[in-house]
Structures are given as structure tokens and as C-alpha cells.
Amino acid sequence: MSSEGAVEAHAFYCFEVINATLTGEEELEPAFDSTQEFPLFVTWNLVSRSTGSPRLRGCIGNFEAAPIKDGLRDYAGISAFKDHRFAPISTKELPRLECGVSLLTDFELCDNYLDWAVGTHGIYIQFANPALAPPGVITTPPSSSSTSTNTSTSSLASPPPRPSFRSISQLPPFKPTGLRPNPRRLPSVLTATYLPDVPGAQGWDRLQAVDSAIHKAGWTGSITEELRNSLRVTRYQSRRVERSYAEWRAWREAR
């Protein structure tokens, strides 16, 4: 995978995709290396007419590395028109849009649910559905240290480097055990993520972000320290670029 991060052409291509859908205007070919592969997210924000502040209008992506042109095309459209939290973006909203592209890198298993930094890392949490866990029993996930072997017997030896993964699918499997029968076919594992820019933008510390992610995953019950300690938290980083409609339009007219 290339070390190159997100560039403005990635955001401009997302504008090309939704503009072609909304207006029928011919789509320009992307001006970037389309052979790169990344997990990625596309975020649309709508700038307020009265305050000039952006608000979320759609955000969807994928944790699996895919050819970047295909990924941007797919998730530009999905996040604009199929994010179930919002109505589809309309033509009249185009001039007030901002597009953010996040290329995700450096997936690492955390040693505990606080083993990450606000402003640096995004988090992806996985945990056994508490509704299926016997009372007082919640599956504890492996830490990052359990994914590698330290062959040194010296207490002074440096710890082994933390394994880094290219995508979520490359992580060791997370398979809770000892769960109760599930006749209602509830999900056995609940998951949620926050991109690296989200906790800071919301003013959250690590604990607040983790608790919010637990609720986002679908758990509506109480959050205990036992539940927090049962999480498998994967931290990751993002190379992000953001551009406005006006910047995209100026780029397009200069082509």
C-alpha cells in the first residue's frame, strides 16, 4: 500500500460522482493514482446559511482495502444518498456541501479500552452482545500483546513491536464463547466506530467516546466497568482531506 495520504483530487472526485448523479453533468476522470488500495470513509457536511458552521449530512465507508477509485465512487454515492440517518442529498444543497475523504491506516489492537489518543486515533469496538451473556459473565477479548510472541526471557528486554494490520479483516478473529441460546437471532457481536476527528470535534475524552460508541453499537442497557473491559478496541489512524463545493467547482472549471 502506498504511503501517500488523501489528496484534494480524492474529494473532488467524490463531488464529480454526486454531481453527475444529481445534474447529469459529464463526470471528469479522477486525477490521482487509482491503483492504490485503502479502507476509506467519505463524509458530507452541509454548511449552515446562517452561521457558516458545518453539520453532518452523511458518512459511510468500509474497513476493507479496495481500489481507491472504486471505493470513492461507491461511498461518495452511498454516503450522499443512502445514509439511513438522513434524507438523500438534493441538488439545491450542492453549493453548500463540504466533502471529507479519510484513508484509514495502521490498525492496531489496544491493550485496553483507553489505549488510544484523542486526535490521533479512531476506534473500532467489538464486544459480545450483553443480552446473550450469562449474568456476571462477559467475554474478555485478547489484548494486543496476545497477538505476538515474546521469545526473550529477560525482564529487561524491550517489548515486541505492536502488530499493525492493513484492514479489520486481518485482525485475529473475535468469537465470543459461552453465550446463551439465541432463538431471537440477536447479533452475537456488537460493533461501532468513530473516525479520528470525531471525539475531538464532540469535545469527548476517551471514556466518553468509548461509552458513546457502546451505545452507537446498539446496546441500550447500563454501561459498567466490566462491559468496558470486555471490549476489543482497535485503534487506527486516518489521512484526511476536506474540500468545499466552491473549491471543487474552481478546480473543475480550470480543467
Q: What is the pLDDT of residues 167-194, one digit of tens each?
A: 888 999 998 888 888 888 999 999 999 9
Split at pLDDT 50, 70, 90, the class of 71 is very high
Residue 58 scores a pLDDT above 50: yes
Q: What is residue 5's predicted lDDT score, i.e. its pLDDT?
A: 78
Structure-model confidence comparison of residues 152 and 235, the more confident one:
235
Residue 15 has a CB neighbour count (10 Å cut-off) of: 26
Among residues 113, 233, 106, the alpha carbon closest in space to that of 162 is found at: 106
Please state the φ and ψ torsions of residue 199, each to the nearest 5 degrees.
Answer: -55, -45
Split at pLDDT 50, 70, 90, the class of 53 is very high
Contacts of 63 (CB under 8 A, 6+ apart): 39, 104, 124, 167, 168, 169, 193
Q: What is residue 177's predicted lDDT score, i.e. its pLDDT?
A: 82
Q: What is residue 136's predicted lDDT score, i.e. its pLDDT?
A: 59
Split at pLDDT 50, 70, 90, the class of 59 is very high
Residue 110 scores a pLDDT above 50: yes
Lowest average pLDDT, out of 23-37, 57-71, 84-98, 149-163, goes to: 149-163
Q: Are 45 and 54 in contact (CB under 8 A)?
A: yes
Average pLDDT over residues 97-123: 96
Global confidence as pTM: 0.82
Average pLDDT over residues 21-47: 94
Q: What angle do CA 14, 241, 39 make, to 5 degrees?
A: 70
Residue 40 scores a pLDDT above 60: yes
Split at pLDDT 50, 70, 90, the class of 1 is very low
Structure-model confidence comparison of residues 149 and 10, the more confident one:
10
Average pLDDT over residues 63-81: 96
Structure-model confidence comparison of residues 137 and 40, the more confident one:
40
Judge residue 135's burial from the number of C-beta atoms within 10 Å of its C-beta, 0-12 exposed, 13-18 middle, 19 or more buried: exposed
pLDDT in tens, 180-239: 888 889 999 999 999 999 999 999 999 999 999 999 999 999 999 999 999 999 999 999
Cell of 203: 469535545
C-alpha–C-alpha distance, residues 106 and 11, integer Å: 22
Q: What is residue 143's predicted lDDT score, i.e. its pLDDT?
A: 60
C-alpha–C-alpha distance, residues 137 and 122, integer Å: 28
Cell of 144: 494486543
Q: What is residue 153's predicted lDDT score, i.e. its pLDDT?
A: 42
C-alpha–C-alpha distance, residues 22 and 89, integer Å: 9
